[in-house]
Amino acid sequence: MQHGKYRFIVGFLVAPLALYAVFVIWPFIQSIYYSFTDWTGLSPDFKMVGFANYERMFQDDVFWKSLQHSVMLVLLLPLVTLGLALFFAFMLNVGGRRRKGTAITGVRGSGFYKIAYFFPQVLSIAIVAILFRFAFNPNDGVINGTLKAVGLGSIQPDWLGDPNFALWCVMAVLVWSTVGFFVVLFSAGMASIPKDFYEAALLDGASRFTTFFKITLPLLWDTVQSGWIYMGILALGAEAFASVQIMTVGPGGPDYSTTVLPLYVYLSAFRDANAAYATTIGVALLVVTLLFAAVVMRLGRRERLEF
């Protein structure tokens, strides 16, 4: 019986594992292999160059700028996005005033707010980036136009053209476009927490602040930890690449002030026709992503709470 069971399980796993190996594992192996060559990406001819690409990468100022910007995004973006999402979700589910018949309720109109927060998820990140590129336009954009309308016409920054503001503008757009997903996710988790926990805490004199840190956050910790890793991958992947590629001048400018690792991989491969060097930067991006996930899993490890 046991032997037959294992054969049955292996039979179901062979096909998906084979597909995973071909379409996920093998491209990683190929990328690492090509990072030791001089392949241009335009010709099938190439030769092994050893660690020359890695030596070049460690001496490349643009790479270090890109790495710094990616690390900044991966540290700040999850912190801001998940912090706002937890606050909004808590207010929508638990933070309202007492009403007749119940002590625990969300703010009025919480259903509408959930839809409003989630709305950016309906839009592609490309559309969001294009909309905000126009909004940040220094001449006729909505943001500078609003500043002028309220009497702050003397404050007219060149948002995406100023190296001091450009990356922060991109980060603000990423927060705006992703926070709604986590509001809905955390709201679903909070809705599953028994109301008796909150009512007992309030009867004991606990404040909303205390109930959040003593009840809500511990019971949602697994979801928060998964969200942190997911946000980190977005900050190191397609979301950051698309936003910088579409919104910024260059792209990645001005003066490489918004260049992130995924964009530098793209520029090296398609602008500079140096696929081997692009795969080298991709290997560095893979290492950064794995380190981020490992650190979050290690620091976020705690005893699992069930209810």
Q: What is the mean pLDDT of residues 249-278?
A: 91
pLDDT of residue 77: 93
Q: Find the farthest-apart pair of alpha carbons in the chain and give their distance in angstroms, rounded.
A: 80
Q: What is the mean pLDDT of residues 251-273?
A: 91
- Label residue 148 by pLDDT band (50, 70, 90): confident
CB 182 within 8 A of CB 79: no
Query: Which percentage of the chain shows pLDDT scores above 90?
Result: 36
pLDDT of residue 96: 58
- The structural domains of the chain, ordered by start, are 60-299 (1.10.3720.10)
Query: Which percentage of the chain shows pLDDT scores above 70?
Result: 92
Phi, psi (degrees; rounded to nearest 5) at 54: -70, -35
- In tens, the pLDDT along 79-125 reads 999 999 998 888 888 765 655 555 566 667 777 878 888 888 888 88
Computed on alpha carbons and rounded to an integer, the radius of gyration of the chain in Å comes to: 24
Phi, psi (degrees; rounded to nearest 5) at 30: -60, -45
What tokens appear for 169 in the block?
């503008």
Q: Which residues are CB-neighbours of 135 under 8 A, at least 6 positions away?
A: 141, 142, 143
- In tens, the pLDDT along 67-92 reads 999 999 999 999 999 999 998 888 88
Residue-averaged pLDDT of the chain = 85
> What angle is formed at CA 253 by the lines to CA 128 and CA 174, rounded to 5 degrees?
30
What tokens appear for 252 in the block?
């990645």
Query: Which is more confident, 7 or 81?
Result: 81
pLDDT of residue 83: 92
